[in-house]
Amino acid sequence: MKFQAPKGTHDILPGESERWEWLEARARDILSRYGYREVRTPMFEATDLFVRSVGESTDIVRKELYTFEDKGGRSLTLRPEGTAPLVRAFLEHTLAHGQPISRLCYLGPMFRYERPQAGRFRQFWQIGAELIGPGGPAADAEMIDLFVAIIRGVGLRDVTVLLNSLGDATCRPVYEERIRDYFGTRAEALCGDCRERLKTNPLRILDCKVPSCQPILEGAPSPLDSLCEPCREHFAGVQDGLRALAIPATVVPRLVRGLDYYTRTVFEVHAASLGAQNAVGGGGRYDRLVKDFGGPETPAIGFSIGMERLLLSAGSEAGGAWTPDVCVVVREESAAFTALELARTLRGLTDGGAVGGGLRVVVDVAGRSAGAQMKWASKLGARYAVFHPQDSDGYPVRDMTAGKDEAKQGTVEELSRWLLTRREAS
């Protein structure tokens, strides 16, 4: 019987995993520089958490949840997005600790049952950040600036920020009534899903991708025309903040995102290198979600970035391949175990754990000839080959890149210092 990865999932193999590690390290570094600290939530939560936050009428809840009943009869769901679990953890563990602002982030797999396409999978990975507490436009500007910083941090430059405002509890109902009236007179021309959305959540119609609905959507009223004065001022402030940060943004009145908890600012970032399906990620303000989960009224804003799509945008050259610094070449079969000991020392490891900076070292354990080991070292891209056991005057070293022998290094400590110096200098 031949087993394969489930449809919509993929294995991350050596050669590719290094690119993922590189992306994770870049993202974590930038998030840390902005003051964001990581929260790791379970991969499944109570189903009601997502129904309540994401919205019962959204496509995610209606069509895409991976939901199951455990042996205790509880309905659980693999997380389709990261904000609701993080807000749940924020409240459960009182992460605010009386502070007016909480900067939190996450990185991990999400799950949605949808049609796989380029850069989109049923198990996919996201980088996300949440700024909980401040409600002013400066917070929105910081989140978009952070998003763009991560994008630029992986080498992308040709990106576009799309921006919109959906209003708040005061003016959003006015807009929803306007579009309900607009689409109500055109219901027969809408697709089946949009006719259902017209009954449950008309705002979702603006997110429809069915070609036959597009001409109708083009003429729909803009939410910007229905904003109350505070929301209008907030949106203008966000745009002022982005101009101050020299981040170009295009206002797109039809941008609504796919989750019901958004209020006021919503945004997406697109990368030209991805073609038609070019959204790398997005986010928005969710000022009601903390209160909906039983907490105090707390404004918040966040975003998520699809890691697969970000790597696809960055190109195959991003991150580079893993190569060892040193390959220990075992010259005598009887020296196999002491070669392992030498390799461990060069890695900067002792019986007590890691000590200082260490080298990336591989050693042959297959009992091959010295010549075969040298070919293996060359194939791996090792910078140096160290021959073991040592000669009477030290360890022979071959510079694999230059193809020449280096001066012998006497003791293990001298050898380690010499190799580390060479690595730092290169």
Position 98 in a domain: yes
The 10s digit of each residue's pLDDT in 240-276 is 999 999 999 999 998 887 677 889 999 999 877 666 5
> What is the C-alpha separation between 207 and 92, in angstroms, rounded?
33
pTM recorded for the entire structure: 0.88
Whether 352 shows a pLDDT value over 80: the answer reads no
Position 205 in a domain: no
| 340 and 261 together in one domain | no
Structural domains counted in the chain: 2
Position 294 in a domain: yes
Q: Average pLDDT of the chain?
A: 90
Residue with the bigger pLDDT between 314 and 420: it is 420
| 234 and 272 together in one domain | yes
Strand partners, 285: 263, 301
Position 210 in a domain: no
Domain CATH for 401? 3.40.50.800
Looking at residue 254, what is its pLDDT? 86
| 333 and 310 together in one domain | no
| Phi, psi for residue 100 in degrees, rounded to 5 | -75, -20
| 348 and 309 together in one domain | no
| 234 and 368 together in one domain | no
Position 269 in a domain: yes
| 388 and 303 together in one domain | no
The 10s digit of each residue's pLDDT in 178-208 is 988 998 888 888 898 888 888 888 888 888 8
| Stretch among 9-18, 124-133, 350-359, 411-420 having the lowest mean pLDDT | 350-359
User: Of 287, 314, 341, which one is at a domain's C-terminal end?
Assistant: 314
CB 133 within 8 A of CB 100: yes
Position 199 in a domain: no
Mean pLDDT along residues 137-152: 95
| 309 and 259 together in one domain | yes
**What sign results for the dihedral spanned by CA atoms 8, 283, 169, 53?**
positive
Residue 196 CB-density burial (10 A; 0-12 exposed, 13-18 middle, 19+ buried): middle
The 10s digit of each residue's pLDDT in 215-245 is 888 888 999 999 999 999 999 999 999 999 9
The 10s digit of each residue's pLDDT in 271-324 is 776 665 678 899 999 999 999 999 999 999 999 999 998 888 877 767 777 899
| 268 and 333 together in one domain | no
> What is the C-alpha separation between 374 and 368, in angstroms, rounded?
10
| 246 and 360 together in one domain | no
Looking at residue 356, what is its pLDDT? 57
Position 93 in a domain: yes
| 27 and 96 together in one domain | yes
> What is the C-alpha separation between 151 and 318, in angstroms, rounded?
12
pLDDT tier at 357 (50, 70, 90 boundaries)? low
Domain CATH for 148? 3.30.930.10
pLDDT tier at 118 (50, 70, 90 boundaries)? low
User: Of 258, 288, 314, which one is at a domain's C-terminal end?
Assistant: 314
Mean pLDDT along residues 111-127: 85
Whether 410 shows a pLDDT value over 70: the answer reads yes
Q: What is the largest CA-CA distance in the chain?
A: 93
Looking at residue 258, what is its pLDDT? 67
Range of the domain at 381: 326-420
Position 196 in a domain: no
pLDDT tier at 159 (50, 70, 90 boundaries)? confident
> What is the C-alpha separation between 143 and 264, in angstroms, rounded?
14
User: Of 314, 338, 363, which one is at a domain's C-terminal end?
Assistant: 314
| 162 and 86 together in one domain | yes
Mean pLDDT along residues 23-30: 95
Whether 355 shows a pLDDT value over 80: the answer reads no
| 141 and 231 together in one domain | yes
Whether 383 shows a pLDDT value over 80: the answer reads yes
Which residues contact residue 124 at a Cβ distance below 8 angstroms, ignoring those fewer than 6 apart?
A: 109, 110, 111, 112, 306, 307, 308
Which residues contact residue 247 at a Cβ distance below 8 angstroms, ignoring those fewer than 6 apart?
A: 144, 145, 148, 161
